[in-house]
Structure 1
Amino acid sequence: MKKVILKGKNLKLEEIVEVSEGKAIVEMSENIKRKVRRSREFIIKALKDGKKIYGVTTGFGMLADHLIDQSQIEELQKNLIRSHSVGVGPYFDEKTTRAIMLLRANVLAMGYSGVRLELIQTLLEMINRGVHPLIPEQGSVGASGDLAPMAHLALVLMGEGNAVYQGELMSGKQAMEKAGIPVITLKEKEGLALINGTQVMTALGVLCLLRAERLCKVADIVGACTLDALKGTLSAFDLDIQKVRPFPGHLAVVKNFLKLGKESEIAQSHKFCSKIQDAYSLRCIPQVHGAVRDALRFVRNIFEIEVNSVTDNPLIFANKGKILNCGNFHGEPVAFAMDLLGIVVSELGSISERRIEKLINPSLSGLPPSLTKEGGLHSGLMMVQVSAAALASENKILSHPASVDSIPTSADKEDHVSMGTIAARKAREIIKNVENILAMEMLCATQGLEFLKPLEPGIGVKEAYRVVREKVHPIKGDRRFDEDIKKIQCLIESGELINRVEKIVGRLN
C-alpha cells in the first residue's frame, strides 16, 4: 500500500483523499520526529521554570485567568476533552473522519505544539488500523477552531467516547483494544493541542474541493451532450473568442468542448441553418463553467496553504525560546473559501437546470415535448426538470455565506468566529445537489440524442452516451426515473463517466 510521509510542509490534497479512502498508510519522517521532541522538551523546561502557559497552567476561554496547580495538569487536559465533547447531529462518515485525523496529526507533527511523539503516533496508528471515532457534525463555530468535534476525536485516544472499528460500532476503549493500540493519558498541553484548530472544516473542505473539481469536467461532458442534442453550435467555443478575454477557466472549457464535440455529424447537419445564436445556457458555457474553475483555483490555493499550516494555540517556537499566544485557529480563510466554493458550484447546477428546460421544451428544442413520443398518455421527463428546479433553488438558500455571521462565545472572550465548518457542510450539500442536477440533465440529453439518430454526436459525447446506456436504457414510455437518476449520479460520483470519456478524447482540462 502507498505510504504518505509527514514531513511538515508538503502534504498534498490528493494524498489526503488517498488516506481518507484507505488507499495509503501514514508515517512520519525522522526529521519531523526530532522537531516534535525538541518542542516537547522546551515546554517541559518552561513548566519547570515556573512559566505561566495558557491551557497548561491556566483554564480555558473565559477561565484563562484561573491558575492551575502543576499537580492538576493531567486532570485539566482530561477535563477539557470531556467538557468540550458537546457535538450533536449526524456523525461524519469514515472518509471525512480519516481526513480530520490525518490533518490533526500533520499539525502536531510540525513541532510547534509541544506534544509527545507518542500522541502523534497513536493518531497515525488509529488511521492505519482503521479506528474511526464518532465525530458529530454540529457544534463548531469555527474558532477557537473546531473544538467540539475535535474533542469527540480526542475522547477515543483516551479510551473513552465511541468509534467504529471494522464496520462495528463500539466504545472507544473497545475499539482501541481490538486494534491493539494503547490508549493515551494526556499530558501537559496535549488535550488543547488535539482540539484547537481548523482540521474539521479543512478536511471536509478538501474533500469537497476535489469533488467540485471533478464536477467541472462532468459539467463539460454533460453540457456537450446537451449542445449536440439541441443542435447547438460550437461557434461560441472558437478559441479566438477566448483569446480576447483570456481567463484560464474559459480556455480550459473551450478546449474540452472542442475535444468532446469532434467529428459530430449532428453539428455538421445544421451548420448552415437559419438560427443565429444559442441561448445563454449554451452559448455562455465557457464563461460560466470557466469562472467556476477559476474560483476553485483560488480555493485550492487556500487549502494548499491551510493543510500545511499550524493552527494551534499557544505555539511553541523552541528554536527561538518563545511560547506565543495567537489566533491561528480562526477559520476565516477556510470559511471564505468554502462559501465561495458553494456559490460557484451552485452555478453549475443553475445553468444545468436551464439546459434541462431547453431539452424538454419543444418550442426551444425541436424535440418531442418532455422528450416522449406519446405526450399526454406519457408525461416523459417533465418532472425531471421540476426536481432539478427544486434542487437549484435549494442551492440558492444553501449558498448564503456562513462567514458573514458571527456570534460571541465564552463570555465575549471569543467574540468573533468564522462559522467555517457550517460553510463546509453547506458546500457538501450543494455538491450533492449539483451531482443530481447534472445526472438529470444527462438523462434528458441522452434521450434527446435518441431522436436525432442515425446522426452521430461528437466522439466524446458518443462515449458518454454509451456509458450511460450501459446502465440506463432509452425511454420508451413512463417509468420510475429516480432509479435512472441515481445510476447516472453514481457514474458521476465514482469518476467512471470521466474516466471512460477521457480514454476516447484524451485528458480533459
Structure 2
Amino acid sequence: MTQNVPPTLILFDGSPLQIEQITAIAQGQARVQLSPDPLFRSRIQRGADFLDRLLREDGVVYGVTTGYGDSCTVEIPPALIPDLPHHLYAYHGCGMGRFLTDVETRAVLACRLASLCQGMSGVSWALLQQLEHLIEHDILPRIPAEGSVGASGDLTPLSYVAAVLCGEREVLFRGQVVPAAQALQDTGATPLRLRPKEGLALMNGTAVMTALGCLAWQRADYVSRLACRITAANVVAIAGNAHHFDETLFAAKPHAGQQRAAARIRGDLVVEAQLRNSHRLQDRYSLRCAPHVIGVLEDALPFLRQLIEAELNSANDNPLIEPDEERVLHGGHFYGGHIALAMDTLKNTVANIADLLDRQLALLVDTRYSQGLPSNLSGSQGATQPINHGLKALQISASAWTAEALKQTMPASVFSRSTECHNQDKVSMGTIAARDALRVLELTEQVLAAMLIAARQAVPLRERIQPDVPVGPAMRAWIADLAGRVALVEEDRALDRDLHQLLSGIRAQTWSLYAD
C-alpha cells in the first residue's frame, strides 16, 4: 500500500465500476465497502428470499434442486440440497500451475463482489460481507492459475474463493501461507455455510479472466505511453527527422489513437531545430511509422475498455435470479467471449510494440544506420575501447524477449474444446487469453527496460557528437531521471540489476507520461 496516502474508499452498490478502481483495490491503494443503503441491501435479500420460497414450493432450479452441468437431469433430494454447494467447490479443487499473485487475487475478489452486487445472483447479504471481509483484511485465497476454459466461467479457480469463504484450503495472510480457517478466526470471522445457489453464484462467472483483463489493460496503457517517450528519445539519438510526426500530416489519416501517439512524440521533440536533418527525407519504418504501430494499440484501448468494463459490471453466473419480477433466468452469461476477444487483441497489439522497439534498438546499435553513434552504443573512449561491447548482448536479449512475445500472440479463443460430457461444447478460453496477455506484457516490459538503458546511453552519446542536439524539456528531464537510475555503460558490466530496477519502475508506473 502506498505510504502516507490514505486509501480511497470504493463503494460497492451495484453501480458501474471502472478498470482503475479494480486496479487500485488490487494494488492496495483503495478499500472496499458494501453500500449501507437499505435499498441495496433489500434488493440482495429479495433474491435470496425468492429462492427460499421456490424451494418451499418445490420449484425446480438448475444447480439448486438439480446436479451441475450435464448432471442437470439429476434431481437432488431435498435433504441433500444444503450439501450441494460444498460438493461443487470440493470437486473443482483441481487447479494447477502458478498461484495468482497478491495483486491478481485482490482483483479477482473485487470482480466477483462487483458481479454479485448486481443483485441478480440470489446470494445472501452474509456472503457479500464475507467477500468484503477477505478484501478488507487481505486474506488472499491461493488460486491456481490453470484449469479454466472460460465457460462455465472460471469454475476451478473460483472454487478456491468459495472454499476459503467456508474456511477451507489455504490463504496468504500477513505474509504467510496459513489455513483459511485460521485467517478467518484471527480476523474475527467465522466460516460461511453456503446457501443453495451460492456455490454457483461464486464460481459460475468470469471474475478471474475479468480481473486479469483489468490489470492487463492498465499495464498496456502504460506500455503505449512509454513507447512514445522511448521512440522520441530514439529519434533524437539517431538524428532522425522530426517532421515525420507533423500535425498536418496526421490530420490526413484521422485515427484518433494514431494522432495521439504522434502528438506525444512531437511534443517531446524540438521540431524546428530538426531542419538541419532535412537532407534525410525519410527514416526507417520503426521510427517513421511508430505512431502508426503504437496508434493501433491506442485506438484499441478504448474499445477494449468497453468490453472489460461491461463484463466487470455484469451479472455473469447462471441461472440469474431476478428479484423484482421473481423470475429464474437460465442462460449462459458465464461465457467469457468478450474478455477472450479483448485479451487476444491486447496481446497482439502489445507484442507489436515490443517488435517496434526491438527494431529501433537494432538501428541504434548498428553503425550502418545509427548516424555516427558508436558501435553497440558503447560509451568507452579509452585504451580499452576495442574490448568493450556496449549493448551488444542487451540487443540480443531484447530480440529474444520480442520473439517470445510474438510467439504468444496466437489467439486462444479459437482453441475452444468440448468439455464436461459435451454440455460445455463451446467455450471461450478467455482466462487462457488473459494469462497469455499478461505474459506478453511481461516480455514487452522487459524490452521497454532494455530500451530505457538504450535511451540513457544513446542520447548522451549523440550529445558527444552534436552538443546542441535539440531535446524538448520533458525529454531532457526524463533522460536526467534515467541518468540518476542507471550509470552510463562505459566499461562492460552486467546489466541485469539495472534491468530489474527499471522493470520495477515500469510496473510501478514511476514516470508520469503525458497529460492526455
Please, what TM-score do these two structures have when normalized by structure 1?
Answer: 0.96
RMSD of aligned alpha carbons: 1.4
Runs (4+) off by over 3 Å? 373-376
SS of equivalent residue, structure 1 residue 276: coil
Q: Letter of the aligned partner of 2:14 in structure 1?
A: G
Query: Is the CA contact 1:250–1:289 (under 8 Å) kept in the aligned structure 2?
Result: yes
In the alignment, residue 62 of structure 1 is paired with which amino acid?
A: D
Partner Cα separation in structure 1 for residue 18 and residue 281 of structure 2: 47
Q: Which residue of 1 aligns with 2:509?
A: 495
411, 418, 429: which one aligns with 1:401: 411
3-state secondary structure, aligned to 1:246: coil
* Deviating more after overlay: 449-458 vs 166-175: 449-458
Match of 1:3 among 9, 12, 31: 9
Partner residue in 2 for 1:455? 468
2:318 aligns with 313
Correspondence for 1:346: 351
Contact 2:346 2:437 in 1 (8 A): yes
Q: Return the alpha-carbon distance in structure 2 between the equivalents of residues 72 and 163 of structure 1.
A: 29
> What are the within-5 Å matches in structure 2 for residues 131-280 of structure 1?
131-262=139-270, 268=273, 271-280=276-285
User: What is the CA–CA distance in structure 2 between the aligned matches of 1:270 and 1:437, rounded to whole Å?
Assistant: 31
The CA distance in 1 between the partners of 2:286 and 2:392, in whole Å, is: 19
Partner SS for 1:344: helix
**Does residue 270 of structure 2 align to residue 281 of structure 1?**
no
SS in 2 for 1:193: helix
Q: Deviation digits for residues 231-262 of structure 1, max 9, x if unmatched?
A: 11111111111111100011111221122114
Match of 2:20 among 8, 14, 17: 14
User: Which stretch of the first structure deviates more once superposed, 91-100 or 373-382?
Assistant: 373-382
Q: Offset at 1:91?
A: 0.4
Do the aligned partners of residues 125 and 458 (structure 1) sit closer, same or farther apart at CA in structure 2, a change above 3 Å counting? same
Partner of 1:443: 453
1:70 corresponds in structure 2 to: 78
Matches of 2:247 and 2:408 in 1, distance apart? 35
Asked if 1 retains the 8 angstrom alpha-carbon contact of 2:241 and 2:277, the reply is no
Partner of 1:486: 500
Question: 2: distance between equivalents of 1:321 and 1:115?
Answer: 14
Q: Residue by residue, what CA displacement relative to the aligned partner does 1:214-238 show, whole Å, maximum 9, x if unpaired?
A: 1111111111111100111111111
Residues 456 and 486, structure 2, Cα contact 8 Å, conserved in 1: no
Could you tell me which amino acid in structure 2 is paired with residue 84 of structure 1?
A: H
Where do residues 301-450 of structure 1 align in structure 2 (5 Å cutoff)? 301-365=306-370, 366-372=372-378, 373=380, 376-450=386-460
Aligned residue identity for 2:245: F
Tell me which of 48, 54, 74 is aligned to 1:46. Answer: 54
Q: Between 292-301 and 368-377, report the one with greater CA deviation.
A: 368-377
Q: Name the residue aligned to 1:23.
A: 29
Question: In structure 1, what is the Cα distance between the partners aligned to 2:504 and 2:140?
Answer: 25
Counterpart residue type for residue 56 of structure 1: V
Give CA deviations for 1:168-209 in whole Å, capped at 9, x if unaligned.
110111111112111101111111111000000000110110
Unaligned runs of 5+ in 2: 1-6
Q: Counterpart of 1:451 in 2: which secondary structure?
A: helix
C-alpha contact 2:241 2:278 (8 A) present in aligned 1: no
Question: Per-residue deviation at 1:396?
Answer: 1.5
How many residues align? The count is 499
Q: Tell whether 2:488 aligns with 1:474.
A: yes
1:443 aligned counterpart, secondary structure: helix
Deviations along 1:436-465, one digit per CA (max 9) or x if unpaired, are 111212211221112222334222221121
- Contact 1:6–1:32 (CA under 8 A) maintained in structure 2: no
CA distance in 2, matches of 1:276, 1:269: 11
- Report the 3-state secondary structure (helix = DSSP H, G, I; strand = E; otherwise coil) of the residue aligned with 1:170: strand
Contact map agreement 1:33 1:109 (CA 8 A) in 2: no
2:291 is aligned with 1:293: no
Residues 69-88 of structure 1: pairs in structure 2 closer than 5 A: 69-88=77-96
Distance 2:278 2:34 in 1: 64
Same amino acid, percent of matched pairs:
33
CA shift for structure 1 position 63: 1.0
Could you state the TM-score of these two structures normalised by the residue count of structure 2?
Answer: 0.94
Q: Secondary structure at the match of 2:485?
A: coil
The change in CA–CA distance for 1:245 and 1:270 in structure 2 (over 3 A counts) is closer
Higher alpha-carbon deviation: 373-382 or 414-423: 373-382
Q: Does structure 2 retain, via aligned residues, the 8 Å contact 1:201–1:334?
A: yes
CA distance in 2 between partners of 1:146 and 1:176 (Å): 24
SS at match of 1:396: helix
Deviations 1:328-373 (A, max 9, x none): 0001110011000000000110000000000000010021111124
The answer (yes or no) to whether the contact 1:25–1:128 under 8 Å persists in 2 is yes
**Equivalent-residue separation in structure 1 for 2:189 and 2:263 (angstroms):** 51
Verify the 8 A CA contact 2:65 2:78 in the aligned structure 1: yes
Q: Deviations over 1:9-66 (max 9, x none)?
A: 3112111111111222212222321110111111111111111110000000121110
Aligned match of 1:99: 107
Give 1:375 deviation, angstroms.
Answer: 5.5
Deviates more, 1:480-489 or 1:127-136: 480-489
Inter-partner Cα distance in structure 2 for 1:221 and 1:4: 33
Tell me the secondary structure at the aligned position of residue 323 of structure 1. Answer: strand
* Cα deviations by residue, 1:129-180 (Å, 9 ceiling, x for unpaired): 1111100000101000000000011111111000011111101111111121
Contact 2:209 2:434 in 1 (8 A): yes
1:461-503 CA deviation, whole Å, 9 max, x = no partner?
2112111111101111110022222222222222222x2xx5x
Partner of 2:3: none
Letter in 1 for 2:316: T
1:508 corresponds in structure 2 to 515
Whole-angstrom distance in 1 between the partners of 2:305 and 2:329: 29
